[in-house]
Amino acid sequence: MTTAVIIPARYESTRFPGKPLALINGKPMIEWVVNAAKGAKLPNKIIVATEDERIVSAVGRIGVSAKGKKIEVCLTSKDHKCGTDRICEVVKNHPDIKYIVNLQGDEPLIPSSYIDKVLEPLINKSASMASLVTPLTDSKDLTNPNIVKVVFDKDRYALYFSRSQIPYNRENRKDIQYYRHLGIYSYTRETILQFNLLPQSALEVAEQLEQLRMLENGVKIKLEIVPKAYPAVDVPNDIKLVESTCVR
Protein backbone atom coordinates (compact mmCIF):
# COMPACT_ATOMS: atom_id res chain seq x y z
CA MET A 1 0.00 0.00 0.00
CA THR A 2 1.44 3.33 -1.07
CA THR A 3 0.84 6.57 0.80
CA ALA A 4 2.05 9.45 -1.32
CA VAL A 5 2.66 13.13 -0.74
CA ILE A 6 1.96 14.74 -4.10
CA ILE A 7 3.18 18.31 -4.54
CA PRO A 8 1.61 20.25 -7.43
CA ALA A 9 4.19 22.81 -8.59
CA ARG A 10 3.16 25.04 -11.49
CA TYR A 11 5.82 27.19 -13.13
CA GLU A 12 3.42 29.46 -15.02
CA SER A 13 1.82 31.05 -11.97
CA THR A 14 -0.19 34.12 -12.94
CA ARG A 15 0.84 36.23 -9.95
CA PHE A 16 4.36 34.83 -9.57
CA PRO A 17 5.86 33.16 -12.66
CA GLY A 18 8.54 30.63 -11.75
CA LYS A 19 7.40 30.57 -8.11
CA PRO A 20 8.51 26.98 -7.29
CA LEU A 21 12.10 27.89 -8.21
CA ALA A 22 12.18 31.19 -6.27
CA LEU A 23 15.08 31.15 -3.83
CA ILE A 24 14.41 31.13 -0.11
CA ASN A 25 17.64 31.56 1.84
CA GLY A 26 19.51 30.21 -1.17
CA LYS A 27 17.35 27.12 -1.84
CA PRO A 28 14.52 26.81 -4.39
CA MET A 29 11.11 26.87 -2.74
CA ILE A 30 10.25 23.42 -4.11
CA GLU A 31 13.22 22.01 -2.18
CA TRP A 32 11.85 23.41 1.08
CA VAL A 33 8.49 21.77 0.42
CA VAL A 34 10.05 18.43 -0.54
CA ASN A 35 12.16 18.48 2.62
CA ALA A 36 9.00 18.89 4.70
CA ALA A 37 7.55 15.82 2.98
CA LYS A 38 10.77 13.87 3.60
CA GLY A 39 10.44 14.43 7.32
CA ALA A 40 6.91 12.99 7.57
CA LYS A 41 6.69 9.47 9.02
CA LEU A 42 3.52 8.05 7.44
CA PRO A 43 4.06 8.61 3.69
CA ASN A 44 6.34 6.25 1.78
CA LYS A 45 6.45 8.13 -1.54
CA ILE A 46 6.93 11.75 -2.57
CA ILE A 47 5.94 12.95 -6.03
CA VAL A 48 6.26 16.45 -7.48
CA ALA A 49 3.69 17.08 -10.23
CA THR A 50 4.63 19.86 -12.62
CA GLU A 51 4.14 21.07 -16.17
CA ASP A 52 7.66 22.44 -16.65
CA GLU A 53 11.03 20.80 -17.36
CA ARG A 54 12.84 23.42 -15.27
CA ILE A 55 11.09 22.14 -12.15
CA VAL A 56 11.80 18.56 -13.22
CA SER A 57 15.51 19.41 -13.30
CA ALA A 58 15.43 21.16 -9.93
CA VAL A 59 13.70 18.22 -8.25
CA GLY A 60 16.19 15.82 -9.82
CA ARG A 61 18.97 17.50 -7.85
CA ILE A 62 17.28 16.96 -4.46
CA GLY A 63 17.93 13.20 -4.24
CA VAL A 64 16.68 10.88 -1.51
CA SER A 65 16.09 11.32 2.19
CA ALA A 66 18.00 9.64 4.99
CA LYS A 67 15.15 7.12 5.21
CA GLY A 68 15.53 6.26 1.55
CA LYS A 69 12.36 7.96 0.28
CA LYS A 70 12.86 8.53 -3.40
CA ILE A 71 11.69 11.85 -4.77
CA GLU A 72 9.81 11.28 -8.02
CA VAL A 73 8.72 13.94 -10.47
CA CYS A 74 5.90 13.64 -12.98
CA LEU A 75 5.59 15.90 -16.01
CA THR A 76 1.88 16.63 -16.30
CA SER A 77 -0.41 18.46 -18.70
CA LYS A 78 -0.18 22.24 -19.04
CA ASP A 79 -3.97 22.44 -19.29
CA HIS A 80 -4.98 21.66 -15.70
CA LYS A 81 -7.11 24.34 -14.05
CA CYS A 82 -6.06 23.54 -10.48
CA GLY A 83 -3.53 21.56 -8.48
CA THR A 84 -6.07 18.86 -7.65
CA ASP A 85 -6.54 18.10 -11.35
CA ARG A 86 -2.75 17.79 -11.67
CA ILE A 87 -2.69 15.36 -8.74
CA CYS A 88 -5.47 13.28 -10.29
CA GLU A 89 -3.39 12.78 -13.41
CA VAL A 90 -0.58 11.40 -11.28
CA VAL A 91 -2.90 9.12 -9.27
CA LYS A 92 -4.43 7.67 -12.45
CA ASN A 93 -0.95 6.72 -13.61
CA HIS A 94 0.05 5.17 -10.26
CA PRO A 95 -2.46 2.40 -9.42
CA ASP A 96 -0.48 1.48 -6.30
CA ILE A 97 -1.30 4.76 -4.53
CA LYS A 98 -4.05 4.34 -1.92
CA TYR A 99 -3.71 7.48 0.24
CA ILE A 100 -2.75 10.93 -1.01
CA VAL A 101 -1.63 14.14 0.67
CA ASN A 102 -2.10 17.25 -1.46
CA LEU A 103 0.76 19.46 -0.29
CA GLN A 104 0.85 22.81 -2.04
CA GLY A 105 4.15 23.75 -3.64
CA ASP A 106 4.04 27.24 -2.11
CA GLU A 107 4.04 26.08 1.55
CA PRO A 108 7.79 26.00 2.29
CA LEU A 109 7.45 26.22 6.07
CA ILE A 110 4.81 23.58 6.74
CA PRO A 111 6.00 21.22 9.52
CA SER A 112 6.45 17.56 8.65
CA SER A 113 4.21 16.69 11.60
CA TYR A 114 1.28 18.43 9.87
CA ILE A 115 1.58 15.99 6.96
CA ASP A 116 1.28 13.05 9.35
CA LYS A 117 -1.57 14.77 11.18
CA VAL A 118 -3.71 15.17 8.06
CA LEU A 119 -3.19 11.48 7.19
CA GLU A 120 -4.31 10.12 10.56
CA PRO A 121 -8.09 10.16 9.84
CA LEU A 122 -7.52 8.11 6.68
CA ILE A 123 -5.20 5.64 8.36
CA ASN A 124 -7.66 5.07 11.23
CA LYS A 125 -10.59 4.84 8.76
CA SER A 126 -12.58 7.72 10.27
CA ALA A 127 -12.73 9.65 6.99
CA SER A 128 -11.99 9.46 3.27
CA MET A 129 -10.88 13.11 3.14
CA ALA A 130 -9.26 15.31 5.76
CA SER A 131 -7.70 18.72 6.23
CA LEU A 132 -6.25 20.96 8.95
CA VAL A 133 -7.47 23.98 10.88
CA THR A 134 -5.93 26.26 13.46
CA PRO A 135 -7.47 28.70 15.96
CA LEU A 136 -7.88 32.17 14.48
CA THR A 137 -6.85 34.76 17.03
CA ASP A 138 -6.28 38.01 15.13
CA SER A 139 -9.58 39.86 14.66
CA LYS A 140 -8.30 41.46 11.44
CA ASP A 141 -8.17 38.01 9.84
CA LEU A 142 -11.93 37.59 10.24
CA THR A 143 -12.60 40.10 7.47
CA ASN A 144 -9.65 39.11 5.25
CA PRO A 145 -11.07 37.17 2.27
CA ASN A 146 -7.68 35.56 1.63
CA ILE A 147 -7.94 33.72 4.95
CA VAL A 148 -10.50 30.95 4.74
CA LYS A 149 -12.67 30.36 7.77
CA VAL A 150 -14.40 27.08 8.65
CA VAL A 151 -17.07 25.77 10.99
CA PHE A 152 -17.42 22.12 11.95
CA ASP A 153 -19.65 19.78 13.94
CA LYS A 154 -19.02 18.19 17.31
CA ASP A 155 -17.00 15.39 15.69
CA ARG A 156 -14.89 17.90 13.71
CA TYR A 157 -16.41 17.21 10.32
CA ALA A 158 -16.59 20.37 8.22
CA LEU A 159 -19.96 22.08 7.90
CA TYR A 160 -18.85 25.00 5.72
CA PHE A 161 -15.81 26.91 4.48
CA SER A 162 -16.01 30.60 3.65
CA ARG A 163 -13.97 33.69 2.88
CA SER A 164 -16.45 35.57 5.06
CA GLN A 165 -16.61 35.56 8.84
CA ILE A 166 -18.33 32.41 10.06
CA PRO A 167 -20.11 32.05 12.36
CA TYR A 168 -21.63 35.54 12.37
CA ASN A 169 -21.36 36.94 15.90
CA ARG A 170 -24.78 38.57 16.16
CA GLU A 171 -24.61 39.36 19.88
CA ASN A 172 -20.89 40.21 19.93
CA ARG A 173 -20.09 37.32 22.26
CA LYS A 174 -16.57 36.93 23.59
CA ASP A 175 -16.58 33.14 23.85
CA ILE A 176 -16.72 32.23 20.14
CA GLN A 177 -13.65 30.44 18.81
CA TYR A 178 -12.98 31.01 15.12
CA TYR A 179 -10.91 28.66 13.01
CA ARG A 180 -8.72 29.19 9.99
CA HIS A 181 -8.47 26.54 7.30
CA LEU A 182 -5.03 25.41 6.14
CA GLY A 183 -4.80 24.34 2.50
CA ILE A 184 -3.42 20.85 2.93
CA TYR A 185 -5.65 17.83 2.22
CA SER A 186 -5.55 14.06 2.39
CA TYR A 187 -7.80 11.76 0.38
CA THR A 188 -8.31 8.13 -0.35
CA ARG A 189 -7.70 7.22 -3.97
CA GLU A 190 -11.41 6.78 -4.61
CA THR A 191 -12.29 10.18 -3.15
CA ILE A 192 -9.84 12.26 -5.16
CA LEU A 193 -10.80 10.49 -8.39
CA GLN A 194 -14.45 11.14 -7.54
CA PHE A 195 -13.62 14.84 -7.13
CA ASN A 196 -12.09 14.88 -10.58
CA LEU A 197 -15.35 13.62 -12.15
CA LEU A 198 -17.65 16.14 -10.46
CA PRO A 199 -18.58 19.43 -12.15
CA GLN A 200 -17.86 22.68 -10.32
CA SER A 201 -20.58 23.37 -7.77
CA ALA A 202 -22.51 26.59 -7.16
CA LEU A 203 -20.93 27.33 -3.77
CA GLU A 204 -17.47 26.49 -5.09
CA VAL A 205 -17.88 29.04 -7.87
CA ALA A 206 -19.26 31.68 -5.49
CA GLU A 207 -16.49 31.35 -2.88
CA GLN A 208 -13.75 30.11 -5.23
CA LEU A 209 -13.04 27.27 -2.78
CA GLU A 210 -12.82 23.86 -4.44
CA GLN A 211 -13.36 21.91 -1.19
CA LEU A 212 -16.99 23.08 -1.25
CA ARG A 213 -17.51 20.81 -4.27
CA MET A 214 -17.00 17.85 -1.98
CA LEU A 215 -19.32 19.12 0.75
CA GLU A 216 -22.06 19.85 -1.79
CA ASN A 217 -21.76 16.28 -3.04
CA GLY A 218 -22.00 14.70 0.40
CA VAL A 219 -18.33 13.93 1.06
CA LYS A 220 -17.44 14.41 4.72
CA ILE A 221 -14.19 16.24 5.46
CA LYS A 222 -12.55 15.46 8.80
CA LEU A 223 -10.65 18.38 10.34
CA GLU A 224 -7.66 18.06 12.64
CA ILE A 225 -6.55 20.99 14.79
CA VAL A 226 -2.92 22.14 14.71
CA PRO A 227 -1.26 24.91 16.76
CA LYS A 228 -0.59 27.58 14.12
CA ALA A 229 -0.42 28.59 10.48
CA TYR A 230 2.81 29.32 8.66
CA PRO A 231 3.20 31.91 5.89
CA ALA A 232 2.84 30.68 2.32
CA VAL A 233 4.15 32.34 -0.83
CA ASP A 234 1.53 33.88 -3.10
CA VAL A 235 3.44 36.85 -4.54
CA PRO A 236 7.15 37.83 -4.69
CA ASN A 237 6.90 40.08 -1.63
CA ASP A 238 6.03 37.04 0.50
CA ILE A 239 9.57 35.67 0.11
CA LYS A 240 11.03 38.10 2.66
CA LEU A 241 8.37 37.18 5.22
CA VAL A 242 9.04 33.48 4.75
CA GLU A 243 12.81 33.97 5.00
CA SER A 244 12.40 35.82 8.28
CA THR A 245 10.34 32.90 9.64
CA CYS A 246 12.53 30.02 8.43
CA VAL A 247 13.47 27.45 11.08
CA ARG A 248 14.64 24.56 8.87
Which candidate, 151, 140, 135, 230, places its Cα nearest to that of 183? Answer: 230
103-123 pLDDT tens trace? 999 999 999 999 999 999 999
55-79: burial string, b at 16+ Cβ within 10 Å, e else: beebbeebeebeeebebebbebeee
pLDDT recorded at residue 63: 63
Going by DSSP bridges, is the β-strand pair 129-136/222-225 parallel, antiparallel, or unpaired? parallel
pTM of the model: 0.93
Cα dihedral: 49, 53, 59, 63 (round 10): 120
Domains defined for the chain, CATH in brackets: 1-110 (3.90.550.10), 126-229 (3.90.550.10)
User: In the structure, what pLDDT confidence band is assigned to residue 147 with cuts at 50, 70 and 90?
Assistant: very high
pLDDT tens column, 36-91: 999 999 999 999 999 999 999 999 887 655 456 778 999 998 888 788 889 999 99
